[in-house]
Amino acid sequence: LAMENMFGTPASTMPLYRLDDSGIAPTPLPNSHVAPEHRIYYHQHKSAHRFLAGSALRRMTERFTRVLSRELHHDAAIGPDDDWVQLPDLYTFWKSRIFHAAVHALFGPYLTLLNPGFEQDFWNYVDAIPTLMMGLPRWMIPRAYAARDRVFTAVKTWHRFARAHSDYRKNGPDDPDWDKYWGSAWLKVRQQFGQDSGWMDEDALAAEDVALLVA
């Protein structure tokens, strides 16, 4: 339901999720006959475990911290050196800077560079998620769908650009774990298992990464 309603996975791709009864372990569960390339939950789990633990997570965290620090130094350079700066809303200040640092560390710079206004589009979409989860048709909640569509369009634009400039299949242990087109090699791995499944079109691939973005 989350993939279909919240993240917009096309109906044509939903069997990939609904029919996968193989579990998340390297060995499929007994009586499961799902093809290896269709084991979507295993591939999601395996790639998350690889990049959200140990040295890979440490490097991602360090990258996030560097970008956040750079943004804060930029803010400090704008105002007078020794004066307090009055902020109308500290939450909004931090939300924006942490968003940019997190997106840059995980997805690289081009998701936002190619899509001016992406941050506001994203928060509009997040605000629309409870409405989207109701599963109502598009004609009843057009603004909620429009908010999701703008985020989808941005992610698809970035996917096309990244595929044109960097080989997503170069994501092995000896390859760089980050590049400026894909960001973390985790996104390359996700693109690869999505493409290899044979079930995912551009919209389905975008839905996978929109889900990661929201998470």
Collect the ranges in the chain with pLDDT lower than 70.
76-82
Give this prediction's pTM: 0.92
Provide the pLDDT for residue 74. Answer: 78
Provide the pLDDT for residue 76. Answer: 64
Structure-block tokens of residue 194: 């999505």
Dihedral angle, C-alpha 186, 43, 17, 184, nearest 10 °: 0
Distance from C-alpha of 136 to C-alpha of 114, rounded to nearest angstrom: 31
Element containing residue 183 per DSSP (H, E) = strand 183-184
Provide the pLDDT for residue 192. Answer: 97
Cα 17 to the center of its chain, rounded Å: 18
pLDDT, tens only, 61-73: 999 999 999 988 8
Provide the pLDDT for residue 72. Answer: 87
SS3 assignment, position 158: helix
Provide the pLDDT for residue 159. Answer: 98
pLDDT, tens only, 153-166: 999 999 999 999 99
List, in order, residues 6 or more apart from 198 with CB less than 8 Å away: 37, 38
Provide the pLDDT for residue 71. Answer: 86
Whole-number average pLDDT of the chain? 94
